[in-house]
Amino acid sequence: MSDLFDGIHEFENLTRDAILDWLREDDETKLERLWHASNLVRRRFVGDDVHLRGLIEISNHCVRCCGYCGLRFENKKIERYRMSADEILACAHQALQMGYGTVVMQSGEDYGITRDWLTGIIRRIKKETPLAVTLSLGERSDEDFKAWREAGADRYLLRFETSDPDLYRFIHPSLPHRESDRMAILRSLRELGYEIGSGIMIGIPGQNYRSVAGDIESFRSLDLDMIGVGPYIPHPDTPLGMPDTPTALPDDEQVPHSEEMTYRVLAMTRLVCPEANIPSTTALATLNKASGRELGLQRGANIVMPNLTPSQYRVKYEIYPDKACINETAQCCHICLSGRIESISRSIGKGQGGRKRERIRKEPDMH
């Protein structure tokens, strides 16, 4: 490992205090060192390939009342949809045609997505295509996770959003009779043999610098395969999106939900988890539509997630407003993102693009 940090030793084994200093650093010349180091480490550990994950937003129904998300149950302004099995399969075939190695099925926490229904869809995708299947469906039961893993699902994404327990409870209320414990769910998913992904939002009202430094340290201790970090974007139809949220901190303690702060967190995430798959997120592209994707890829990221959701549904999957690419077709996203990757002299990854690691992955227990 030390050879791989050759010439940039100050970034090896970053302590929480060092992370904190970088989050608060305002000298542009010094920040250039951070961008440079994260790009170098990205290249040394995961190379120049950018892997494409086709995103299918399969349902916007949700039972939860997260304070930040436009899909929350109490938002009566959005029209709800759930894609049919055939529509989802058509998207998976489109992913294959476009050369993607993975499809990601994402939704609100929707119990209309039953265990058996999704099992059938995963089986069909695995039978008809060589794609890796990633799920991002919220906090489901161990029985659901097990059935989906046995059907062939490879990866699961569940952001812990913030490692500050009080802030988490405030922005992400538990369901009655079931405490939300995303860290425990991530451990179960790993036990079942999934590659696991998590991450945070940056600049949630009430999120201070020390807690973001703690989030970055947690990425290291959880040994995540995938890590998504994106700016928090206020949604006017949510409690946190209203002016003067009760959790807001004084300006010098509140982490800003800015493009610049997102790059700092992204860069340090790459430095503490050199082998992880890290996307340049749509939320980041939403803040800088001209070059956010590219800058993310040049400051640590190695993944992008082109959207495959059919246009009539895509506009209804409004987790935050003014989302980048909301009015595009799958074909446009494909051409646009491929062009952006080539424009910064990076290559498009072939195959499933799973995490490269020494550890042998556990196969699903079929009994």
Q: Which residues in this chain contact ligand SAH in the complex, by CB under 6 A?
A: 68-69, 106, 108-109, 136, 138, 158-159, 161, 201, 230, 232-233, 235, 283, 319-320
CA atoms within 13 A on the CB side of 33: 11
Cβ 85 to ligand SAH, closest distance in Å? 20
In order of 53, 68, 109, 316, 327, the CA distances from 77 in angstroms are 30, 15, 18, 10, 19
Q: What six digits make up the tokens of 336?
A: 């646009």
Nearest to 343 by CA among 283, 273, 269, 291: 291
| CA gap 216, 273 in Å, rounded | 9
Shortest spacing between CB 215 and ligand SAH, in angstroms: 12
Query: Least distance to ligand SAH from the beta carbon of 190, Å?
Result: 16
User: Measured between alpha carbons, how far is 353 from 100 in angstroms, rounded to an integer?
Assistant: 10
Kindly state the smallest distance separating residue 233's Cβ from ligand SAH, in Å. Answer: 4
Q: Between 227 and 272, name the residue whose CB sits nearer to ligand SAH.
A: 227
The smaller minimum CB distance to ligand SAH, of residues 170 and 232, is found at 232
User: Helices 16-24 and 209-222, interaxial angle, to 10°?
Assistant: 130
Q: For residues 109 and 144, which CB has a smaller minimum distance to ligand SAH in the complex?
A: 109
* Residues near 92 by beta carbon (within 8 Å), at least 6 away in sequence: 54, 56, 103, 125, 128, 129, 131
Supply the minimum distance, in Å, between the C-beta of residue 257 and ligand SAH: 8
Closest to 337 (Cα-Cα) out of 280, 270, 260, 275? 280
Q: Which is nearer to ligand SAH, 230 or 346 (CB)?
A: 230
Query: Shortest distance, CB of residue 287 to ligand SAH, whole angstroms?
Result: 10
Q: How far apart are CA 49 and CA 3, in angstroms?
A: 21
Element (H, E) at 10: none
Question: In angstroms, what is the minimal distance from the CB of 21 to ligand SAH?
Answer: 26
Count of C-beta atoms within a 10 Å radius of residue 303: 25
- The residue (of 138 and 300) whose beta carbon lies closer to ligand SAH is 138
Instruction: Give the chain's radius of gyration (CA, Å).
Output: 19
Nearer to ligand SAH, 14 or 231 (CB): 231
Nearer to ligand SAH, 279 or 300 (CB): 279
